[in-house]
Structure 1
Amino acid sequence: MFIDITSELESALIDLTLPTWKLDGPALAASTMEEYRTELASCPQFAETATTLRRALTAKDGGYAVLRLGRLAKALGADDDSFLRLATGFAAEVAVPFSPFPRWPLWKDIGVKVDKDPGKSSGIGYNAFHMDLVNGTLPPDYTTLLCVRPDPLGGGPSILSDAHAAVARLSEDHRALLAESGYHYGTFYDLHSVGEEYKPFPILDGDRGEGFVRFTAKMLERSELGQEHADAARALAEELVRGQVSFMLQAGDYLIVNQRRFLHGREALQSGQADIPAEDRRLLLQLFLRAASGTGSAA
């Protein structure tokens, strides 16, 4: 769902100055969340917009939303602290913002590095469907991406797919294999607030239709999986692609994904990235959210 905000709300937000946030460990402090909520609630149509956002993320047929903040970004500057505080305020209406990376601030830069593994988030190639922090026992309930600059060459559309709908299209045999603890991927270090390393793990983790689908397509190439488990994961990857939606994020667009429902990725960036100065390449800012109850519902 794409959510536009009214011109009246935009005008109020442009004139609003939210204070610098405070952290409680890795998470946005409760005092800051309350202060932001109080200030934003005074803006016309903010409460209605926040309700629409939460419903888009948690309704039975929902799971992701793009909040269109482009005119705000243009007025304030997409990388300006005042705009980032407004985006954080919207995020705090969904769940508790936090950073699982001690070496990074609350928002993590995802730029473009031409010498990086092309399949990584900061690479230039196809970034296949995945769940963030897939191998933590307590992965973020939501992953969010704020677009500061799209690819100036026009590539890199975001892709999303309903993970549970993809699973439902699989055979019962494949679903049974995906529910077994036969999968592993990646490393696990220098992290906090995402539990312990989960290895091995089931792809289908929790109640059908509600639990995480712990999948990353990279496990098919970079993890040694048993043949039957690999075949089941490959079948899931194909269904995710079959059911995907694709769209281009523009400057100021704020994508929020409920990780209990949708997986995400990105198509390849347009060729010629090495010819673009690093400071002009695509730039996203990433923020993770933890639902207060740990169930994916709003804070």
Structure 2
Amino acid sequence: MIIELTSELEGALIDLPLPPWELDVPSLAKSTRERYRAELTAVPRFAETTTALRRALTGEGGGYAVLRLGRLAKALGGADDERFLRLATAFAAEVAVPFSPFPRWPLWKDIGVKIDKDPGKSSGIGYNAFHMDLVNGTLPPDYTTLLCVRRDPLGGGPSILSDGHAAVSRLSEDCSALLAETAYHYGTFFDLHGVGEEYARFPVLDGPNGFVRFTAKMLERSQLGQAHADAARQLAEELVRGQISFMLEPGDYLIVNQRRFLHGRKALQGGQETVPAADRRLLLQLFLRAPADAGPAV
């Protein structure tokens, strides 16, 4: 769902002096969340906008939203401007608790473009297949979010999303039964906090937690038994069959409910080596944890 801000709301936010955030590692401090909410409560149309945002993320048939903050970002000097990031953080805090699982990144993590990286990685230039973030943590983020600072100047790299549960519903019972077995594994687990323990082997269909615990990368980079690999491959095909695709513009803020949707990115346009590093595509990533008393983000 695309959520536009009214000109009235944009005008009020431009003049709103939110203070710098504080962290209660790994999360945004409760005092900061309370201060931001207090400042924003009286802003015209803010409550209606955040209500629509939460409905898009957790309501029937929902699971993702794109907040169109481009005009606001431009007015404040860009999507990486400190004042703008405070506002984006305040919107995120209305959904769940912002946190960073990476000690080296205090809250927002840069995802730039590195032409010498594995093309399939988030910072690579190739196709980034469907996945959920922190797939091998026992407590993966409830939401993953991406804020566009710069789009690919050559015109590539649209985001892709797919409803994981809808894809599973199109599989056979035998296939689903294999995906529910604790037979899958992917990646390393090092220097992380706020995402539980390492889930060395996990089921793709994570029962009561509601996650479709999947990354297409495990098809090539993990040793799986033939039957389990075939089941995962069928799921990957259904995710592609049901995918939606769109281009994030500067200031667009994508929020994905990881209990419902998986995400990825199509390849960037060829010729990235001709683009100066400072001009290449740049996203900022932030993770969100639903409060324990809020129930699952489903």
Q: In 2, distance between residues paired with 1:130 and 1:297?
A: 18
The offset of 1:42, in angstroms, is 1.6
Aligned residue in 2 for 1:95: 96
Aligned residue in 1 for 2:230: 231
**Structure 2 unmatched runs, 5+:** none
Aligned residue for 1:3, secondary structure, equals strand
Q: In 2, distance between residues paired with 1:165 and 1:148?
A: 31
Asked if 1 retains the 8 angstrom alpha-carbon contact of 2:259 and 2:297, the reply is no
Aligned residue for 1:204, secondary structure, equals coil
1:257 paired with 2:256, answer yes
Asked if 2 retains the 8 angstrom alpha-carbon contact of 1:113 and 1:123, the reply is yes
Aligned residue for 2:189, secondary structure, equals coil
Deviation beyond 2 Å, 4+ runs, structure 1:
293-298
1:266 paired with 2:278, answer no
Q: What TM-score comes out, normalization by structure 1 length?
A: 0.98
Q: How does 1:85-124 map to 2 (within 5 A)?
A: 85-124=86-125
Aligned residue in 2 for 1:53: 53
The offset of 1:79, in angstroms, is 1.1
Aligned residue for 2:21, secondary structure, equals coil
1:81 paired with 2:70, answer no
1:287 paired with 2:286, answer yes
The offset of 1:295, in angstroms, is 4.2
Aligned residue for 1:132, secondary structure, equals coil
The offset of 1:297, in angstroms, is 3.5
Q: How does 1:23-62 map to 2 (within 5 A)?
A: 23-62=23-62
C-alpha distance 193-169 of structure 1, shift in aligned 2 (>3 A): same
C-alpha distance 296-258 of structure 1, shift in aligned 2 (>3 A): farther
Q: In 1, distance between residues paired with 2:204 and 2:60?
A: 21
Asked if 1 retains the 8 angstrom alpha-carbon contact of 2:69 and 2:251, the reply is yes
Q: What TM-score comes out, normalization by structure 2 length?
A: 0.98
- Given residue 60 of structure 1, which amino acid in structure 2 is its aligned partner? E
Asked if 2 retains the 8 angstrom alpha-carbon contact of 1:258 and 1:296, the reply is no
Asked if 1 retains the 8 angstrom alpha-carbon contact of 2:163 and 2:239, the reply is yes
Aligned residue for 1:185, secondary structure, equals coil
- Given residue 11 of structure 1, which amino acid in structure 2 is its aligned partner? G
- Given residue 150 of structure 2, which amino acid in structure 1 is its aligned partner? R
Identity of aligned residues (%): 80
Q: How does 1:170-209 map to 2 (within 5 A)?
A: 170-207=171-208
Asked if 1 retains the 8 angstrom alpha-carbon contact of 2:96 and 2:290, the reply is yes
Q: In 1, distance between residues paired with 2:80 and 2:196?
A: 31
Q: Which moved more, 1:116-125 or 1:33-42?
A: 33-42
The offset of 1:60, in angstroms, is 1.6
Q: In 2, distance between residues paired with 1:198 and 1:113?
A: 29
Asked if 2 retains the 8 angstrom alpha-carbon contact of 1:142 and 1:296, the reply is no
Asked if 1 retains the 8 angstrom alpha-carbon contact of 2:72 and 2:251, the reply is yes
The offset of 1:206, in angstroms, is 1.7
Q: In 2, distance between residues paired with 1:96 and 1:161?
A: 24
The offset of 1:21, in angstroms, is 0.2
Q: In 2, distance between residues paired with 1:296 and 1:86?
A: 25
Q: In 1, distance between residues paired with 2:181 and 2:207?
A: 11
Aligned residue for 1:40, secondary structure, equals helix
Q: In 1, distance between residues paired with 2:173 and 2:200?
A: 24
The offset of 1:57, in angstroms, is 0.1
Q: In 2, distance between residues paired with 1:138 and 1:92?
A: 19
Count residues in correspondence.
Answer: 296
Aligned residue in 2 for 1:12: 12
The offset of 1:105, in angstroms, is 1.6
The offset of 1:115, in angstroms, is 0.3
Q: In 1, distance between residues paired with 2:72 and 2:46?
A: 14
Asked if 2 retains the 8 angstrom alpha-carbon contact of 1:137 and 1:197, the reply is yes
The offset of 1:296, in angstroms, is 3.8
Q: In 2, distance between residues paired with 1:177 and 1:244?
A: 23
Q: In 2, distance between residues paired with 1:183 and 1:16?
A: 47
Aligned residue in 1 for 2:126: 125
Aligned residue for 2:287, secondary structure, equals strand
- Given residue 48 of structure 1, which amino acid in structure 2 is its aligned partner? E
Q: In 1, distance between residues paired with 2:148 and 2:157?
A: 12
Q: In 2, distance between residues paired with 1:202 and 1:180?
A: 5
